[in-house]
Structure 1
Amino acid sequence: MSLQALKQRALENPEVRSEYEKLENEFNLIDQLLSMRIKAGLTQQQIAAKMHTQKSNISRLEKGNTNPSWTTLSKYAHACGFELTLSAQKNQST
């Protein structure tokens, strides 16, 4: 069974879907981080060197195993050659 099929099957459970939706923004951020690094053609080690940190910190950031500050996220984006922006959207449930 593929990962996508497993995900779809799990999301059929209302409790799983609810928890997944709560984390959706975090998942999207992690996807964006990885996408920036891949588009830049850089390794975690190269990003770490540009940010003056350790590769393990970049790994934790990309896995979502940390609560990064805006400064850390901005440094990561700059190391990849991107500018980080923030936008607000009205909550769809209100």
Structure 2
Amino acid sequence: MSNERPDMAGFREKALKDPEVRAEYDALGSVFQMKRQMIALRKQAGLTQEQMAEKLGTKKSNISRLESLNSDVSPRLATLEDYARVLGYSVTVGFEPEVDRQQ
């Protein structure tokens, strides 16, 4: 038996074998991807959260919550559109068929 701690990739791989964990992970995947992209675009524009908040007429704490990967808050589409517009982007919403992961 090894005394080594598992790395994050090993932990994730093991956790995703549990069907309930996998379902939750898949459900949140698009949210995480969107928030990571939001942060990357803001940083690419050279803006801090404080500057982004000023451009949107809100507080830094609201931007922090909006970008947080751990937040339970679901932003309104209008908020996402405003965020994107400030950065010179638009938001596209689409639907994709679910993939049966049990195959």
TM-score normalised by L of structure 1 = 0.80
2:97, 2:24 → 1: CA distance?
A: 21
CA distance in 2, matches of 1:43, 1:11: 34
Q: CA RMSD in A?
A: 2.0
Q: 1:15 aligns with which of 17, 20, 33?
A: 20
> Which whole-Å deviations, capped at 9, do the CAs of 1:38-73 have from their partners, x for residues lacking one?
221211011100000000000000015221111100
Aligned-pair distance for 1:18? Answer: 2.0
Task: Identify the structure with bigger relative contact order (alpha carbons < 8 Å, sequence gap 6+).
Answer: 1
Q: Among the aligned pairs, what percent are the same residue?
A: 39
**Aligned partner of 1:36 among 21, 36, 41:** 41
**Rg larger in structure:** 2
Amino acid at match of 1:55: K
Q: Give the aligned length.
A: 93
Instruction: Quote the Cα distance in structure 1 between the aligned partners of 2:37 and 2:64.
Output: 14
Relative to its length, the structure with more helix (as a share) is 1
Alpha-carbon distance change, 41 to 8 in structure 1, aligned in 2, over 3 angstroms = farther
Alignment of 1:9-88 (within 5 A): 9-64=14-69, 65=71, 66-88=73-95
Does the residue aligned with 1:84 lie in a helix, a strand or coil? coil
**Deviations 1:2-47, CA, capped at 9 Å, x for gaps:** 5445433432433322211121111111112112112212110111
